[in-house]
Amino acid sequence: MSLKSLIDTGTKVWLDGVEPNQVRSNRALGITGATSNPTICFRKWTRDFYTKGANADVRGAGELARLEQAMALDRTAALLSASYGKFQIMGFNFAVAGFKTVEEFYEAMQLSEGEHLNAFCNYIKGNSLDDELRTHNWAGFAYRYNGPEYKKNQYDTKLAKAHKKYGGK
């Protein structure tokens, strides 16, 4: 599969420019990448380099271009450093998401939303996040899934509203 497949299937991709430093600091996208490729590899997280645009298609195409640029430097580091699909699972989580390699994960994310859901369910169970969902501990789930800054995007509140909207008690 190719980047075109990601576009054709509408799979959301987001290249995290900080991850290459954490995943492979001694490789092409690593520490030296931060100076020679500052829009795809940066030392401190920022939204500055994420693609901006009027709609999701424009933003998505821009993120795919960034991923392609990163893949040209170090394919594996790039795949490990991007998040994919409806649930934005980072490539470095390929094993807990149920895949043998990051390449297998990358291929599956291009197939269907069903594959996104399978990966997400594997990720949830593999990280023991299912308890938070069963007990409706939205803040606990959001913290563990999205990190300590989850409140900035109100992930816990959004989960609670969605649960209520779709018939949760």
Residue 81 sits in the same domain as residue 26: yes
Q: Are residues 14 and 54 in the same domain?
A: yes
| Greatest alpha-carbon span in the chain | 52
Say if residue 22 is in the same domain as residue 94: yes
Residue 19 binned pLDDT confidence (cut-offs 50, 70, 90): low
At residue 65, the pLDDT reads 85
Give the count of beta carbons closer than 10 Å to the beta carbon of residue 139.
Answer: 15
What does the block give as tokens for 110? 């291009």
Do the domain assignments include residue 27? yes
Which has more confidence, 164 or 28?
164
Q: Is the dihedral of CA 38, 40, 43, 45 positive or negative?
A: positive
Same domain, yes or no: 40 and 91: yes
Q: Is residue 120 part of a domain?
A: no
pTM value is: 0.79
What is the distance between the alpha carbons of residues 79 and 20, in angstroms, rounded to a whole number? 10
Query: Same structural domain for residues 134 and 58?
Result: no
Which of 112, 141, 157 marks a domain boundary? 112
Q: Is the pLDDT of residue 23 over 60?
A: no
CA distance 21 to 113: 30
Residue-level pLDDT at 73: 81
Q: Does some domain include residue 119? A: no
Q: Is residue 12 very low, low, confident or very high in pLDDT (cuts 50, 70, 90)?
A: low
Do 66 and 30 reside in the same domain of the chain? yes
Q: For the chain, give the percent of residues with pLDDT over 70.
A: 76
Q: Write out the residue range of the structural domain in which residue 160 sits.
A: 130-165
Tell whether 136 is covered by a domain: yes
Instruction: Give the model confidence (pLDDT) of 77-134 as tens digits.
Output: 888 888 898 999 999 999 999 999 999 999 999 899 999 999 999 999 999 999 999 9
Residue 125 counted as domain residue: no
Tell whether 90 and 38 lie within a shared domain.
yes
Cross-strand pairs, 47? none
Residue 9: per-residue pLDDT: 52
Q: How many other β-carbons are positioned within 10 Å of the β-carbon of residue 55?
A: 7
Are residues 19 and 46 located together in one domain of the fold?
A: yes
82 or 1, higher pLDDT: 82
Question: Is the same domain home to 53 and 106?
Answer: yes
Q: Are residues 7 and 82 in the same domain?
A: yes
* Average pLDDT value for residue range 49-78: 81
DSSP reduced 3-state for 165: helix
d(CA 162, CA 53): 27
Amino acid, single-letter form, for residue 46:
T
Same domain, 22 and 103: yes
**Per the domain annotation, does 117 fall within a domain?**
no
User: 60 with 30, same domain?
Assistant: yes
Does 144 score more than 70 pLDDT?
yes
- Position with higher pLDDT, 149 vs 121: 121
Number of domains comprising the chain? 2
Region 141-159: mean pLDDT is 92
Res. 70: pLDDT tops 90: no
